[in-house]
Amino acid sequence: LESAMDELSYALKIDPLQLRLINYAEVDPVSGKPFSSKALRECYRLGAEKFGWKNRNPEPRSMRDGKLLVGWGMASSVWGAMQMPASAKVTYRADGTASVASATSDIGPGTYTVMTMIAAEFLGLRMDQVKFELGDTRQPQAPAQGGSWTTSSVGSAVRGAALTITAKLLDLANREAASPLSGIAAENVEMLDGRLRSKSDPSRAVDIAEAMRRTGTNEITEVFNSTPSPEREKYASLAHGAQFVEVKVDPDLGTMRVTRVIEITACGKILNPLASHSQEIGGVVWGIGMALEEATEVDHRTGRFMTANLQHYHVPVNADIHAIETIFVEEDDTIVNPLGVKGMGELGMVGIPAAIANAVYHATGKRIRDLPITPEKLL
C-alpha cells in the first residue's frame, strides 16, 4: 500500500509526503469512529524536518554522491493498539519488598524490565525491591507474546493489582481512629518510599510497615484480571509512525546501502525510553533485512528449504547498518488502556521495507515489486 501511494505520487507529480497529508484521515475510514489518539501528522512534520525532506529533488536518478545514485523515500506505518485479557499477582510485604507474577513471556522486548517498572511505580518502590516472575503456566493467565499487546495487557493487570493493594492498605491505615488519611478515597492516595500518602497533601501520610504491624499483616496478595474497557469500542485505537530513508545505489554493481533512517513513532506513553528506542532501532534493522536480504528459497523439486540456516539465510549484520535515529511523539491516550501505552514492536518495522523500496525507485527509476531487492533485480 505504501509503495502504491508512492507510485501514485509520481503519477500525479505530487510530493509523496504532501499526497499523504492531502488524504490524511481525521476519523477511521473503515468504521467512521474517531481515533482515541493520532499524532501521525506530527510524526510527518518532525520526520521531514529532521531528515531534510524539503531538499529532495523529486526526479528519479537526479541525486548523486560521487558515482553513487542517492534515493530518498518515505512511508507511513500503522498498527493496532490492542489489549487482551490478562492477569497478574502482586504480593506486597511489610518489609517493603514485592513479588509480581504473570504467565506471560519475554522473547526479547524487555517484559521483565517494564513489568518491574510498572509495579515499582504504583507500589512506590525502587526497582530492586520488586521481583517479577513469568513464563510458568501455574502463574495468572496472560496472552501469548505477539501483536505488540504485552505491555498494555499484562501491564494493566500489574497496575490494577498494585492499586487494589493500595486500597487495602488505606483500609488498614483507617482502622486507627486518628488516621491522617481518614476520609480520603483510595484513588486519591499513593504509595511512595514506604509511606501511604494523600496525592494532594503529602503531609497527610502513614508509615505502611507500621500500619501492617499494628493489624498483624505480614503481606497482602492480590490477583487482578484486566480486560479492555467498553469505552474502547467507541474509538479506533491505533499506533502510527513515519519513516524517512536514504539509500545509495552503485549503478554498475546494483549493490545498495541504507545509509540513513529517521523513524518517528506515536505509540501512546513511553514507559521505558531506553528500551523503547532500542526496540525501534531493532524494528528498522528488521525492516532492512526484509527489504534487502531475507528470503526463504524453496527447492520445488523436493519441497526442501534451501535457506534453512544462518549461513544461507541472510540477515543484516553490523556492516549493513548505518545511521538510525528514532524519535517518539508521546500521546496522552486515556481510552486505549489505563497505562496509556500502545504497542511498538511491529510498528517500528512495518513501514521500513516500503520506505526503502520507495527510496530505491527515487535513486534508480526502477520500481521493484517483490522483496528482497537484490542487485540482479536492479541491473
**Do residue 77 and residue 213 come from a single domain?**
no
Mean pLDDT over 139-168 rounds to 94
- State which of 175, 208, 227 marks the end of a domain: 227
- Rg over alpha carbons for the chain, rounded to the nearest Å, is 25
Query: Residue 108: pLDDT band by 50, 70, 90 thresholds?
Result: confident
**Do residue 179 and residue 249 come from a single domain?**
no
- State which of 227, 245, 265 marks the end of a domain: 227
Tell whether the model's pLDDT for residue 109 goes beyond 90: no
**Do residue 93 and residue 216 come from a single domain?**
yes
Tell whether the model's pLDDT for residue 146 goes beyond 90: no
pLDDT in tens, 247-266: 999 999 999 999 999 999 99
Tell whether the model's pLDDT for residue 277 goes beyond 90: yes
**Do residue 374 and residue 237 come from a single domain?**
yes
Q: Which residue of the set 59, 263, 346, 376 is catalytic?
A: 346
Q: Are 363 and 247 in contact (CB under 8 A)?
A: yes
**Do residue 145 and residue 119 come from a single domain?**
yes
Cα–Cα nearest to 365, from 2, 7, 14, 5:
7
Q: How far is CA 239 from CA 9, 220, 236, 268, in A?
A: 24, 36, 10, 7
Domain carrying residue 350:
2-81+233-378
The number of distinct structural domains making up the chain is: 2
Question: What pLDDT does residue 213 have?
Answer: 93
Q: Is the dihedral of CA 60, 375, 260, 352 positive or negative?
A: positive
pLDDT in tens, 205-249: 999 999 999 999 999 999 999 999 999 999 999 999 999 999 999
**Do residue 111 and residue 219 come from a single domain?**
yes
Residues 218, 210: Cα–Cα separation, whole Å? 11
Q: Give the predicted TM-score (pTM) of the model.
A: 0.92
The grid coordinates listed for 193 are 518510599
**Do residue 302 and residue 363 come from a single domain?**
yes
Query: Residue 160: pLDDT band by 50, 70, 90 thresholds?
Result: very high
pLDDT in tens, 195-213: 999 999 999 999 999 999 9
Residues 18, 54: Cα–Cα separation, whole Å? 11
- State which of 177, 203, 227 marks the end of a domain: 227
pLDDT in tens, 30-72: 999 999 999 999 999 999 999 999 999 999 999 999 999 999 9
**Do residue 114 and residue 66 come from a single domain?**
no
- Report the CATH number that the domain containing residue 104 is assigned in CATH: 3.30.365.10
**Do residue 163 and residue 242 come from a single domain?**
no
Q: Inter-axis angle of helices 150-173 and 111-123, to 10 degrees?
A: 20
Query: Residue 177: pLDDT band by 50, 70, 90 thresholds?
Result: confident
**Do residue 93 and residue 217 come from a single domain?**
yes
Residues 289, 284: Cα–Cα separation, whole Å? 9
**Do residue 221 and residue 255 come from a single domain?**
no
**Do residue 244 and residue 221 come from a single domain?**
no
Phi, psi of 258 (to 5 degrees): -90, 105
Asked about 231 being catalytic, the answer comes back as no
